[in-house]
Amino acid sequence: MEDQGGGVLDVRAVPPGRREDTVVERFLALAPGESFTLVSDQDPRTLRARLAMDHSEAFHWDVLQPGSPIWRVRVERVS
């Protein structure tokens, strides 16, 4: 499925301590039904856990490419 509204967010150049906040900010800016593709050189599992804790009913997470060396994940705001 293609991105709807959010494009691609490549966090590889973002300092590690700022990555999660950057992704959460992008997620919160999405309208329901919109998504973006997250590109990272680190496993985003802690980010997924944070979204699940704070926005469990509002997001969908679809791993498009699982690491080695690049992760690609489609993050969608569903409600």
| 3-class secondary structure, 67 | coil
Largest CA distance in the chain: 32
Domain ranges of the chain: 5-36+43-77
Tens of pLDDT, residues 6-21: 699 999 999 999 999 9
Percent of the chain with pLDDT over 70: 92
Quickly state the pLDDT bin for 62 (edges 50, 70, 90).
Answer: very high
* DSSP for residue 63: E
Predicted local distance difference test score (pLDDT) of residue 1: 39
For 22-35, what is each residue's pLDDT tens digit? Answer: 999 999 999 999 99
- pTM for the model: 0.89
How far apart are the C-alpha atoms of 19 and 6, rounded to whole Å?
Answer: 17
C-beta neighbour count of 3 within 10 angstroms:
15
pLDDT at 67 over 70: yes
Cα–Cα distance for residue pair 38/74, rounded to 1 Å: 6
The distance of Cα 69 from the centroid of its chain, to the nearest Å, equals 17
